[in-house]
Amino acid sequence: MKKDSKKKVKNFTVEVLDFLLNIPDALAYGFDRGGLYRLMNDFPYEQTLTCSKISHIFSNLKNRGYIEVKKHNGQESVVFTNKAKLAVIDKIAERSDVDNKYYIVSFDIPERMRIDRNKFRRTIKRLGFRQIQKSLWVTNKNFGEYVELAAYEYGVEKYVVYFVTDNTNISGIIDKMLERVNPDF
């Protein structure tokens, strides 16, 4: 597949996932399969979405590991995977509210795990964390669940510490750093 085609597919995938994330409780609870087809009729797409096309979209998302279909009491429901949550993590970060606390991530991931360390670092950057020191990052939004999710997804959970504090001896510096990111802070 050519690079432009891959980029278009990835962008479309993120658009679909983002559209579905706008639905209340979708991230936590998923959807029943029939409801999902009805919801997709509202998806802003340049072509008319037929049942066949919607089925193809979800088959593609399932095959690529973004959604899982689970059966419960004879009902099928569609649930987002961790991979899907990480794919749209910057969209999740945009929707999160600023808090009056500092959420700090510290990690010391071995060099032999460099690729996973880089993936983890990119993820926390997409969440809006700012670097204080080499492996010490801070934000003013509560992303503990997503930091944990990323750490487990990339297999670096043993090397990551996440903590919350109301105050530090460098609060002024952190506030200025975060103010540039969140002007409303």
Domain end (from 58, 87, 116): 87
- What pLDDT score does 45 carry? 67
Which residues touch 160 (CB under 8 Å, ≥6 apart)?
Answer: 105, 106, 107, 109, 120, 147, 151
Cβ-contact 32, 77 below 8 angstroms:
yes
Considering the domain architecture, whether residues 174 and 105 belong to the same structural domain is answered as yes
pLDDT above 90 coverage of the chain, percent: 30
SS3 51: helix
Mean pLDDT of 137-144: 91
Residue 99 annotated as binding site: no
Considering the domain architecture, whether residues 80 and 141 belong to the same structural domain is answered as no
As for how many domains the chain has, the answer is 2
Q: pTM for the full model?
A: 0.74
Give 100 or 28, the one with higher predicted confidence: 100
Task: Compute the 3-state secondary structure of the chain and give helix, strand, coil in percent, each to the nearest 5.
Answer: 50, 20, 30
Q: Whole-number mean pLDDT of the chain?
A: 81
Structure tokens at 44: 């802003």
Considering the domain architecture, whether residues 169 and 113 belong to the same structural domain is answered as yes
**Helix 51-63, helix 33-40: angle, nearest 10:** 120
Considering the domain architecture, whether residues 83 and 113 belong to the same structural domain is answered as no
Question: Where in the sequence is the domain holding 113, given as residue range(s)?
Answer: 91-181
Decide if pLDDT at 26 tops 50. Answer: yes
- Residue 127: which CATH number? 3.30.70.240
- What pLDDT score does 185 carry? 46
- Residue 45: which CATH number? 1.10.10.10
**Cα distance between residue 23 and residue 35, in whole Å:** 12
Distances (CA, A) of 162 to 84, 103, 159: 22, 7, 10
Decide if pLDDT at 79 tops 90. Answer: no
